[in-house]
Chain A
Amino acid sequence: MAENFSIEATDEGDLTTVALGGYLDAHTAPEFEATLQERIDAGRVRIVVDCGALEYISSAGLGVFMGFIEDLRDAGGDLKISGLIPKVREVFELLGFDALFEIYDDRAAAAGSFASAAAG
């Protein structure tokens, strides 16, 4: 917990990008959960969580993703993940999150996937 956690949500068009940084663990996960909840309550359903600056993720951090995915997809949106460093990606894969979530190399690719889905 000595490590920092940062979160920043930006809306652009109908896409919301949530950039995470530092340590996402049981201590900081509630803040992430609150931020996502707030954006979703505001009607935002297309979300990219950019983990490019994320150094560590715990099960509790991943638990936040589980809480929203069904509602988002039901509402015609999705939550996509981008920019995992190898150490973080390992945890995603180990717990099977790579089978449930679309994971992209970077934010632009994740955003683009929404755009192309909309076009198609």
Chain B
Amino acid sequence: MTPSEVPQTSGGRSGRLAAGSLEALLENARLLHSSLELEDLLRSLLRSVMGRLVVTRGLLALIEGDPSTSKVETVAVSRGFRDLPVGSLFDAEHCRTLGAEHLLPIGDPHHPVGHLALGRPIKGELADQDLEFLEALLGIAAGAIANARAHQQARALNRQLDQRVQQLRTLLDLGRSLTSTLEASQVAQALGLTLAGQWLLRRYAVVAWNGDASPVQRLKGMKIPAAAEIREELGALAGPAAIEELPQGALRSALEAQEAELVVPLLSGDKVVGLVVLGAPAGQRTFEAGDRDFLAGLAAQAVVAFENAWYFEETLQREKMERDLALAGEIQQRLFPTELPQPTGFGLAAHNRPASQVGGDYYDVLSVSSGENQRYLICVADISGKGMAASLLMSNLQATLRALLDTEPDLAGLVLRTSRLLYATTPASKYATAFFLLLDPRTGACRYVNAGHNEGLVVRRDGTIEEMTATGFPVGLMGIGEYRAEEFRLEPGDCVALYSDGVNEANDQDEQEFGMDRLKAALVKRRKKSAQDIVDGLFEEVDAFATGAPQYDDITALVAKRF
């Protein structure tokens, strides 16, 4: 309604308004129409009515919404009617019983926008002139009220529009920030700050789960139960939900106890990879109907960023692990002797080829001095498992052997002490099969302990082969047990070959094994060559057999030959 469409007042009395009243009316009309704030307008209307007619009690009630359909009428301004405060329901009869003497409609009497109620004037009765003035004034007021209401609505619409724009800005801002973030904790932070600012939150929680890794969290005055405790309830979450919409369970009771209001799942497809929990907004803010879609939008952006961050993290970790492995492999290779001792009358050669960067095979040749008598401890070992753990045990084995070597004159005793030490310092799943050979180069006399290792092979000058089978359990496997030392002698032209199962178990393309027969034949064929040639030849044959099939196990071979 525009000011020009002021409803006509009823009756024909308006023409008889006194000049003074007209002036007052004009002034009031100006005043009313100058105010677009409904509350101010109503207050000033009531004030001028009460002032002019000298009444001490008055109130204005307005019908909520459209007067032609709505019946709900509430008190908008109240002066002196203590039992009818602002916001209370207005009822004409009730109002009369509380002392209202005059009840006048505002605007069209058939469809008024509200009512004016007045208590008894100080001077007693109201004159006709006063009533005429009131009718005219209320007619003008109806127009002004309609105006103010239209203005109020327009403002509310504008505000809504501004808020939508702000939501869009927020989405854009978060998205822009997240694209440059590669750390999950920063994603949680950006999301948390955005939520806090958008809804004036003091208490909220963001948690994101990446498999079994410890969750990424940002907790502000709230906690979220561990994923394992609420797995079932998480599965049922398809979008933002109020706490009272959740099924009964650990999640709901935990969130209720913390007075959470909304829960927003972070969804990757159907899978819940995280959770956002929001406490109550501060001040005048509340969660509104449209907020859920907006929250779902923010959550979707965060999920993409979380997944990017996790992927990046994994890639980094993989690269780091590869670097670590390469480093460990380098260190391990240095544990192998760079040059084998060559005792008088003997040739020694060995080679190791790990299957991966870090291997589990080990060989060593240590000199054992006891007076004039220089002997050599030759060792080939295969550590259980592969990778870092195996390489650690390998260096452990080497250090233990070296430390004990000069304190334990007896070979079987040395192996037993080594085994016990390894058993005590490593998990039971870590052990090593090993072949220990003590060579006296002056006589060719050999003592050996085979601790659960492959048969050592003695290749005689005439091509016959003797096998040296196990004489005890693998070292480090058990804390108890005995090792038996056996003896033999290498005559001129004889050689002994020690190796790991990577040799005889090498596979070809059809997963056939190289086998002991080929191994023995390769040794016999080359028995007249040097130790180095025998070792090299053996590797050549294994490679020719495998013809490019992947090497699954470390390959180690060591040959000692008496000239």
Contacts and interface: CB of A to CB of B under 8 A. Distances in A.
A59 B173 contact: yes
B190 A26 contact: yes
A96 interface: yes
Contacts, number: 99
A95 B166 contact: yes
Contacts of A66: 196-197, 200-202, 282
Given A26-B173, A26-B174, A27-B176, A64 B283 contact: no
Contacts of A29: 190, 193
B56 interface: no
Nearest to B282: A100
A91 B159 CA distance: 11
User: Which of A25, A30, A59, A90 has its CB near the most chain B CB atoms (within 10 A)?
Assistant: A59
Interface in A56-105: 58-67, 69-70, 90-91, 94-97, 99-100
B196 A25 contact: no
Contact of B190 (A60, A62, A70, A95): A60
Interface of A: 1, 25-27, 29-30, 33, 58-67, 69-70, 90-91, 94-97, 99-100
Interface string B153-190: 00000010011001001100110111010000010011
Contacts of A59: 166, 169-170, 173, 193-195, 197-198
A96 B176 contact: no
User: Which of B159, B200, B202 has its CB near the most chain A CB atoms (within 10 A)?
Assistant: B200
B243 to A, nearest CB: 21
* Interface size class, chain B: 20 to 34
Nearest to B298: A59
Interface string B431-475: 000000000000000000000000000000000000000000000
Contact of B200 (A1, A25, A61, A100): A100
9 contacts: A1-B180, A27-B190, A33-B193, A59-B173, A62-B197, A66-B282, A90-B162, A94-B166, A95-B285
B102 interface: no
A62 B285 CA distance: 14
B283 A96 contact: yes
B120 interface: no
Contacts of A1: 176-177, 180
Contact of B220 (A25, A65, A67, A95): A67
Given A30-B190, A30-B193, 14 more contacts: A1-B176, A25-B173, A25-B176, A26-B174, A26-B176, A27-B190, A29-B193, A61-B193, A62-B197, A63-B192, A94-B166, A95-B166, A96-B282, A99-B284
Nearest to A90: B162
Contact of B186 (A30, A69, A96): A30
